[in-house]
Structure 1
């Protein structure tokens, strides 16, 4: 699986655990909110930059293939036949065509946003965080949420 998806899944899984924590444990994770917000921003950059990185990778692979007499072998062939791999009999190389669909990237980005939202919502519900603090955190992560989208019910009537 691609790093972009793995890192998003790991963060979503971790943030998802926070909704089941005891309040004192939740307060402990909230003490590290800047770390978690940084992780969200990092994963969002990873996801948002995937298309450009994939394009750059394919362009570099094509350039290398076109400027070298590049042949292709599979990992299995390398492992089993390493001593007898004859370049004359190998297939011509082509750029890898692996691609994460944009719809998958978009869905993962939404999962990351939702995981952070639910963490902040739980913190607000437990009165560990004000609505304004939650909105500011969401806004700082550039998730495309407008502050008005964050509607929590609790002590803060302005939310």
Structure 2
């Protein structure tokens, strides 16, 4: 898996643990809420800009290959050297994690959302504070989730 997805998933898992923990643990983790919101925002930014970074990497590799005539032969598993059937042509990376990026983004937003809903339900924050924090990550409140 790629770093961007791994990081988002790691943050999501932490927030899920916080959400289901004992109330006194939730209170402790809530005391660092701006740290966690910052982590979520950074991870969302990394997900949202992944394609741009990928395109820059792709273009840089393509330009280098063209400018330097880079040749890399395939590895031969039989002799351990250059494969005699390889043409030496470089294979550029392919963008292939779009679905996983979208899923990681959704899981990340959901995780922080449900952590904040839990904090609201145990009265660590008011409705306005909940709305303010959810605005920071670009999501809204589902009224049915506010039932205590």
Relative to the length of structure 2, the TM-score reads 0.85
Q: Name the Cα RMSD after superposition.
A: 2.3
Q: Is the 8 A contact 1:131 1:152 kept in 2?
A: no
SS at match of 2:146: coil
**TM-score, normalization by structure 1:** 0.79
Q: Where does 1:54-65 land on structure 2 (aligned, <5 Å)?
A: 54-65=54-65
Distance in structure 2 (CA, Å) of the matches to 1:128 and 1:12: 21
Question: Which residue is equivalent to 1:94?
Answer: 91
Unpaired runs of 5+ residues, structure 2, are none
Are the equivalent residues in 2 in contact too, given 1:65–1:94 (CA < 8 A)? Answer: no
Secondary structure of the residue aligned to 1:99 is: coil
8 Å contact kept, 1:54–1:99: no
User: Which runs of 4 or more aligned residues in structure 1 lie more than 6 Å from their structure 2 counterparts after TM superposition?
Assistant: none
The answer as to 2:122 corresponding to 1:120 is no
Question: How far apart are residue 90 of structure 1 and its match?
Answer: 6.8
Q: 1:93/1:36 Cα in 2 relative to 1: closer, same or farther (>3 Å)?
A: same
Aligned residues: 143
Structure with more relative contact order (C-alpha pairs < 8 Å, separation 6 or more): 2
Unaligned runs of 5+ residues in structure 1 are 155-159
Q: Provide the C-alpha distance between the structure 2 equivalents of 1:60 and 1:149, rounded to a whole number of angstroms.
A: 44
| Displacement of 1:99 | 2.4
